[in-house]
Amino acid sequence: MSGGALLTKGARARRLHLQVGHKLNGQLHGEHLGYHHGAGSDLAEVRPYQPGDDVRRFDWAVLARTGEPHVRTTVPERELETTLLLDLTPSMGFGTRVQDKRELALTMASAFAHLASGAGDRLGAVVLSKDGVRRFPPRATRKAAPHLLSVLGDLDLGEGQAPSLDAGLEAIPRQRRGVVVIVSDLLGPTSWERPLRRLCQRHDVVVVQVFDPRERELPHVGMLRVVDPETGRVLDVPTGSKAVRTRYAAAAAARQSELEASVKGTGAGHLVVGTDGDWLRELTQYLQLRRRIRAARRVASP
């Protein structure tokens, strides 16, 4: 047996974190998530207005009292707190290509943890599994990420009922402004729309949707027995029928369009990655588009 085969899932997850970091360092140098360079929200002082100050910082109460214009200054938010919401429910164990959805989810979690690993940054997590909702409090990212991936790498997805995505969203702290990265296959009802919209009012949110190609297109393999790992429901699907395969593909495409509209409607970012694709290319394109959009908004804002 090879040395690689002797590695536990947790050890493979730690090695994955190193591999992902190496790839990102070569491709995405200088990328960072969140509000590091924002003006901040904590009041520092009130001082007399000077030419060039942002008029939106005027303190009208002081102006009315003194007759002299004053502005409020704030303490910049220099530390970024990132929360990962990882869906590791039984449906994430499905995969027909080089990896299953759970493995891809851990890869994406590692990538976003690496992008949020500046000095002073912190990483926390909320994990959904068949055992319920588990919380990992924020810690320094460089220490938290390898430990978190190690624990999640050894998690047994198994079978059985699991909490819904909206239960995980409700478990995310809302006190401090930060970044939330949600990694899920988004299967099931879209009851997560309202809590996700509320979350976007306070945080910068990215939804990473993972999928397997067989969830969008049936193979031509005759009678196919499929089992729902969460409910145990068994269904025999006649994939030899072209009409069945066509209807399935159409329904899957319509479902995806609805999901994209739902995520966009909440104000969250949306990145879609497949188990058969190049996650690094998809992530790079997403971050480049995100940067261009934000640059355009800064130019458009006074």
Are 232 and 252 in contact by the 8 Å Cβ rule? The answer is no
Mean per-residue pLDDT, 138-147: 81
Q: How far apart are CA 150 and CA 221, in angstroms?
A: 37
> For the range 250-257, what are the long-range contacts, defined as Cβ-Cβ under 8 Å and sequence gap of 24 or more?
252/215, 252/216, 252/217, 253/216, 256/216
Angle of CA points 206, 212, 215, to nearest 5°: 110
Q: How far apart are CA 36 and CA 288, in angstroms?
A: 18
Q: Which helix (H) or strand (E) holds 137?
A: strand 132-140
Burial of 239 (0-12, 13-18, 19+ CB in 10 A): middle
Q: Which amino acid is located at 57 in the chain?
A: R
* Beta-ladder partners of 226: 235
Q: Which of 13-22, 95-104, 115-124, 140-149 has the lowest mean pLDDT?
A: 13-22
Q: What is the pLDDT of residues 76-88, one digit of tens each?
A: 455 678 899 999 9
Q: How far apart are CA 283 and CA 181, in angstroms?
A: 13
DSSP string, 53-122: --GGGB-HHHHHHHSS-EEEEEE-----EEEEEEE-SGGGG--SSSS-HHHHHHHHHHHHHHHT--TT-E
CA-closest candidate to residue 283, choices 11, 15, 26: 26
Domains annotated on the chain, with CATH: 3-33+80-300 (3.40.50.410), 42-75 (no CATH)
Q: What is the pLDDT of residues 219-270, one digit of tens each?
A: 999 999 888 877 888 989 999 999 999 999 999 999 999 999 999 999 999 9
> For the range 49-57, what are the long-range contacts, defined as Cβ-Cβ under 8 Å and sequence gap of 24 or more?
none
DSSP string, 205-246: EEEEEEE-GGGTS--S-SEEEEE-TTT--EEEEETT-HHHHH
Q: What is the pLDDT of residue 23?
A: 65
Q: Give the confidence band of 207 by pLDDT, cuts at 50, 70, 90.
A: very high
Q: Is the pLDDT of residue 30 over 80?
A: no
The larger pLDDT score, comparing residue 206 to residue 75, is at 206
Q: Which residues contact 97 (CB under 8 A, 6 or more apart)?
A: 212, 213, 274, 275, 276
According to DSSP, residue 197 is labeled: H
The larger pLDDT score, comparing residue 153 to residue 205, is at 205
Q: How far apart are CA 154 and CA 157, in angstroms?
A: 9
Are 271 and 283 in contact by the 8 Å Cβ rule? The answer is yes
Tokens of 219: 């193979």
Q: Is the pLDDT of residue 302 over 70?
A: no
